[in-house]
Every structure is written in structure tokens, then in C-alpha cells.
Structure 1
Amino acid sequence: MKAVRIILLILHVGIFLLLSGMLMNAYVPPKVFPWVNLLSLGFPVLIITYVLLTIFWIICWKKRAFIFIFLGLLFFNPVLRWINFSGKSSSEIEDADLKIISLNAKNATFGLKNIEAYIDRQQADIVLLQEYGYGTDYHFNGLKEGEKNAGVAFFTRHKIISQKKIIEGSYEHNNAYVTQTDIEIKGKIYRIINMYLQPFQFEKSMIQLDGNIDKREEKLKNIVKRLIPTFKMHQEQIIPIRESIETSPYPVILAGDFNAVPNSYEYYQLADGLQDAFVKAGNGSSTSFHEYKFPIRIDYVFCSESIQPLSYKVDRSVRLSDHYPVITTFKLDN
């Protein structure tokens, strides 16, 4: 039994070091050391294992349990980016000034009419679509179409002041697409950034590991070969987005499919100076991508400090694409 405990202690310390390494994503760019960013992908498994081992030490009445509990506080905020219970009351939500829906529509392969019907029922003020479907013509009741390109589309009930394409990718190569739209709400201007960062272009068959050791090793190598270059591309793509945020004379709402998980380099860079609406007002799990049997959050809504998130909902009641719609409401500082 003593040998087992030694092995578990070594494992626990190792997991702590990996989780600590993940926190370095706030400082280490992928072009300098991309391997740190890989740790963010395994965060759910690492933190669950860390918690289970801590519980084991508590059951065994070992003093080291208190050490691991104390050290585990370092990962409190990273956990909140995945699972949170800070939702507002219904009365507070009723005071919302703005309702936004963000959805990766997967080129409307689940049905354009299904998406239109769903959006119309929600009566949102702003709709942000990613992978909306090149050449696809959406019609939403009461919403006018704003800036779009091959990757993202913008719809709103409010007056559009100006529009700009921040990143114009190539649809054939699935590059990043980002637009910025300044709109007027109750006499005040807000900047809405709709973004879709470079995808990893994975298929289910590429990540499903079978029993063959050689094939499994080859698949893992191929996964890493796709991840590392994409991390580096994200680093470049973040630069013009940060410029749009930092030079904006107006409060900013940044939303869309980041193709990056919480606690990644992308997350830390894009969230800098902004609020994560899920952390402020979310309930339950933030997982938004359901194609794989693994908790993956890659859809986000961030906002300036002057904007108050009231609710954040990942609507799992519908399947309009391989992403669930994200619905957020806000109280504006007017």
C-alpha cells in the first residue's frame, strides 16, 4: 500500500506541475514555446484527476491533503472558465438592454430554415454567425444584415455606424475571418467584433484512437502536427483583433468561435482588459462544441468593464450545427 501511495504522490505532484505550466499561457507565446498551449487542451482531465487524488488523501487522513487543497486554489479561476454558478436572478435578466446570439452555423448543413426559425424565436438584438455558409442568404425578422465575409456574418436591430473587415481569410483554406461593426444603441456607440479564428480542421476519424499502438502513435503525431502550426497562426491573427479592441473609442463586445479552449494563450490574450461573460453570469458548463465526446469550449462572449453581463446560456435544447448557440444578455451603461 505504501508503494501505491508513493506512486500516487508522484502522479499528483506531476499533475500539479502540468497545471502550473498551463498557467504560463498568459505569458508564453506559441512561437516561443508552443507545447505549453497543449496543456490547456487537457485541462478538464488534469483538474479532475487532481481533485480525485486530493479526495484520496483526505480519505487517508494524510496531511499532504491540505497542501494539495491550498495549491489547488491556483486553479480556481481556470475552473470557472469551464464550470460556473454565478447566474443572475430572473428579475435582473429582465432588465437587460441587449441580447446577443453567437452561433457557428457549420455552413447551414443542419438546415438554414432551422437556424432562421430558432433565431426568430429568440428575438435577439444582435446575431453573430460564424461559418454561416458562403452564398447562403439568411432572413431574420426585424434584423438587418451588416458586414460579412466568407466566414462570419452580422445582423442587428440597431443603427450601423461603421463596418470593417479586420481579417479577411480565404474560404477555400478555412482561414480566420473577423469583422468589426460599430452600432448605436440608445444614443451610445458600441463596437461589436465577430470572430472566427483559424480552425484545426480535424475530423472525427483523425482523433479517434483505436487499439493498434502504431496507428495510435501515428494519429497522435498528426494531431500535434496540426495543433502547433495553428497555435502559431492564432498568435498572428490575435494582433489585429487586439488593435481593434485597444484603439476603440467605444465599449467593446468580442464574440464568436475562437477555436481555442479556456486557459490557452489565445484566451488570455483576447480576454485581456475584457470580462468573460460566462465567468460573470454563467451557470453550469460552458461546453459549446459537441462533435466529440469531450468537454470543449471554443465559443465565447467578452465585453468591456462598462458593460454588465446579466446572463450567459449555452442552449443545448437544439442542434443547429456541431456548436450549441450561445445566448448572452447585458445591461448597458447608458
Structure 2
Amino acid sequence: MKRLKLVDKLVFFVNSIVATMLLLSYILPYVSPKNFALLSVLSLAVPFLILLNILFFVYWLLKVKKQLLLSLIILFIGYNYLFSLYKFSSSKNIEDPNNISVMNYNVRLFNVFEWIPDETVKIQIVDFISEKQPDVLSMQEYRPDEAIDLKGYYKYEELSGKKVKNGQAIFSKFPIVNSGSIEFPNTSNNAIFVDIVKAKDTIRIYNVHLQSLGIDPTVEKLANESSENLFKRVSKTFKMQESQTDLFLQHKARCKYKMVICGDFNNTAYSYVYKEIKGDLQDAFVEGGNGFGRTFNFKFFPVRIDFILADDAFEVNGFKTFDVELSDHYPILAKLKLAK
């Protein structure tokens, strides 16, 4: 350290802070937001912290300095986090006639408030879905509309709201024999489920939409909001997400069928709620995806908050994130095959 120039000493000081924050974030999935809400907020920054530590490692590597060991060791300790952020392997794509294609898509009310200045957005979304023809489609922030006509599907929807009816929906090419909703108090968010029948198998499909963070990702909006207000609001949201997760897990524990959980968790794969909902299930992106797998259009770094989870009764034969900018979320699709 004594041999470092002043600039490098400052760089290493910042490097130490960033490395410590990343190390601290490794315990976040095991920390209840109700007990440490402010600490849980750090889970949103994990992708950014990983990328910063990689940059610090490269910086010291190019300078041939032993300080590279700090970020290298921290990254190595949390190598599972690194692979959750970026999959280096090619995307799995095994075609099999027994595959069940499952798509999850937060459609942001089909652009009813014209966030995207294009009146054809809802038609483009329907055309995209019709082209991909998923066997099962889970949608958040869904609203019924005469122009939204998906032919060949059974449907279950749960809606609320006065001005614009909206909620969650599940479409299935397989018959729906049971359905229902898990209501979350004091919010329009909820979880819904359907039981579908494929051949002799009954499969439970969940669509989970946890409390939104309410963060506008544009630079202008973030710049005008104080960090104190932002932290308080996000902390409150994380507490609500934990309560909603508890209600969902109580329902999930009573399910006797093979299951797939889809949804917009409004939180990352480094969070407490993700760990609790995932449990022993497979994350389809981790098993079959590649690249960053980002699902939310956040300008600063890749964020994955939409998930498809499947239990061990399924083989994950493929996963894809579609670069379709018709919402603030990107659609994801998994190919699942029931293991014999």
C-alpha cells in the first residue's frame, strides 16, 4: 500500500468499500426485510457491485498489482452470484415433442397510458405472443381489451381497480380444471394459480406479482428524489413483499401437484423473497439461459426480476429472454419437459 501512488490509494479505498458491500450482500437472502429492511435494499445493487468489482480486478490486473486479490477473492466467494448475473454457457435449446413452453410477461397494461408513444403497442404484443405460441402464458399488469384476442387458449384472470381493470392472467392450451387467487392485503398485487391437465398429469401453474418498488428508472426522476425517501419507500416495499411471500408459501405448501412458478417478483435473484419462493425449485434461466438474462428495462445495469421456476419433476430444455421493447419488462420463455 505504501508503494501506491496517491490516485491508486484512493482507488483502492473505493475498491475496499465496494468489495465490503458485495461481501455483505451475500448474506441478504438469509436476512428478513422485516428485521433489516434498510440492509435488504442492498440486494437491488448486487449486479452493479459485481460489475464494479470486476472492473477493479481488471484495473489492478493491468497495473500488475497484488491489490487485484481483494475483488478476486470476494468474487470467488460469491461465484454463484456471478453465474446468476451472467451465464457464460450457450443457451440450452433442446427440441422435444413433449416440451411445454411457458412464457412470463409483464405487459404493463398493454401501454394503455401510452408510456411508449405508439398506439400499436398492444397489437404488437398480441402479434408477438401469437407468433411464439407458448403453451402456457403468465401475464402481470394484464387488462382485458377487445383488441387483445388470443385464440386457442383457456384463460383465468383476476382483476381489480375502478378506472382501469387490471391484474394477473394465465392462458393455457391445456384444459384448466381448477383456479384461484391468493389475495395480498392493502394492494392490487396478488398471486393466482391454475391446475392444467396434460395427458395424465395435473400441473399447478402459479403467477406471482409481488409489490412493486415504484421506482421510475429514468435519470430525471431518480435525480429529483432524495436518497432518504427512496430508501424508506423501498424498505416499506420489501417488508410488504416478505408478508406477501409468506401468504404465497402457505398456499404453495398445500399443493400436491408438480408445479411451475412464474412471475414478476419486483426483486432480484439475490433477495430474501427470491430465496424463499425458489426453495428447491429450478431457476429456468440458471439451468438453460445465457448472457445477463435481464428482464427489466433499467438503464444503468442489467436487472433480472422476472422468473420461471420449475420443480425437479421437469427437465429445463431451454430458456430465452426476448429483446422486445413493448413494455418496461422483457418476455421470457422456458421449455420444460416432464421427466419420466
Q: Smaller-chain TM-score range?
A: 0.7 to 0.9
Whole-Å separation in 2 of the counterparts to 1:45 and 1:320: 25
Q: Report the equivalent of 1:239.
A: 246
Q: Report the equivalent of 1:50.
A: 53
The answer to whether structure 1 residue 113 and structure 2 residue 137 are counterparts is no
Whole-Å separation in 2 of the counterparts to 1:298 and 1:184: 28
Q: Which ranges in structure 2 are unaligned for 5 or more consecutive residues? A: 112-119, 161-166
Which whole-Å deviations, capped at 9, do the CAs of 1:225-254 have from their partners, x for residues lacking one?
210100000010001222233332112111
The answer to whether structure 1 residue 100 and structure 2 residue 113 are counterparts is no
* Partner SS, residue 35 of structure 2: coil
Which whole-Å deviations, capped at 9, do the CAs of 1:87-146 have from their partners, x for residues lacking one?
4554x2345520011111111116332222221111111011100126677421211112
Decide whether the 8 Å contact of 2:91 with 2:319 is kept in 1.
no
**CA distance change for structure 1 residues 35 and 194 in 2, over 3 Å: closer, same or farther?**
same
| Residue identity opposite 2:102 in structure 1 | I
Which whole-Å deviations, capped at 9, do the CAs of 1:285-310 have from their partners, x for residues lacking one?
21111154442221111111221112
TM-fit CA distance, 1:207: 6.1
Decide whether the 8 Å contact of 2:32 with 2:272 is kept in 1.
yes
Whole-Å separation in 1 of the counterparts to 2:230 and 2:129: 35
TM-fit CA distance, 1:186: 2.1
* Partner SS, residue 37 of structure 1: helix
* Partner SS, residue 207 of structure 2: strand
Whole-Å separation in 2 of the counterparts to 1:263 and 1:25: 7
**CA distance change for structure 1 residues 219 and 99 in 2, over 3 Å: closer, same or farther?**
same
Which whole-Å deviations, capped at 9, do the CAs of 1:44-81 have from their partners, x for residues lacking one?
22112211212222233333434542332122211222
Whole-Å separation in 1 of the counterparts to 2:90 and 2:250: 31
Decide whether the 8 Å contact of 1:149 with 1:177 is kept in 2.
no
Whole-Å separation in 2 of the counterparts to 1:134 and 1:169: 23
* Partner SS, residue 283 of structure 1: coil
**CA distance change for structure 1 residues 77 and 184 in 2, over 3 Å: closer, same or farther?**
same
| Residue identity opposite 1:155 in structure 2 | F
| Residue identity opposite 1:146 in structure 2 | Y
| Residue identity opposite 2:207 in structure 1 | N
- Which stretch has the larger CA shift, 161-170 or 178-187? 161-170
The answer to whether structure 1 residue 298 and structure 2 residue 305 are counterparts is yes
Whole-Å separation in 2 of the counterparts to 1:168 and 1:42: 27
Decide whether the 8 Å contact of 1:101 with 1:327 is kept in 2.
yes
* Partner SS, residue 87 of structure 2: strand
Match of 1:262 among 269, 272, 294: 269
Q: Report the equivalent of 2:287.
A: 280
* Partner SS, residue 234 of structure 2: helix
Q: Report the equivalent of 2:201.
A: 188
**CA distance change for structure 1 residues 69 and 114 in 2, over 3 Å: closer, same or farther?**
same
Q: Which ranges in structure 1 are unaligned for 5 or more consecutive residues? A: none
Match of 2:79 among 76, 79, 102: 76
Decide whether the 8 Å contact of 1:206 with 1:219 is kept in 2.
no
* Partner SS, residue 226 of structure 2: helix
**CA distance change for structure 1 residues 153 and 137 in 2, over 3 Å: closer, same or farther?**
farther
Decide whether the 8 Å contact of 1:147 with 1:165 is kept in 2.
no
Match of 1:333 among 323, 335, 339: 339
Whole-Å separation in 1 of the counterparts to 2:216 and 2:63: 43
| Residue identity opposite 2:124 in structure 1 | N
TM-fit CA distance, 1:332: 1.2
Decide whether the 8 Å contact of 1:22 with 1:264 is kept in 2.
no
Match of 2:88 among 85, 89, 96: 85
Q: Report the equivalent of 1:229.
A: 236
Decide whether the 8 Å contact of 1:96 with 1:329 is kept in 2.
no
| Residue identity opposite 1:167 in structure 2 | E
Moved over 6 A (4+): none
Whole-Å separation in 2 of the counterparts to 1:57 and 1:10: 13
TM-fit CA distance, 1:311: 1.4
- Identity among equivalent positions (%) equals 27
Which whole-Å deviations, capped at 9, do the CAs of 1:7-46 have from their partners, x for residues lacking one?
3333222222211211112211111001222112112221
Which whole-Å deviations, capped at 9, do the CAs of 1:143-187 have from their partners, x for residues lacking one?
1112433410011011222112112567xx5x3210121111121
**CA distance change for structure 1 residues 89 and 201 in 2, over 3 Å: closer, same or farther?**
closer
For these two proteins, the number of residue pairs brought into alignment is: 323
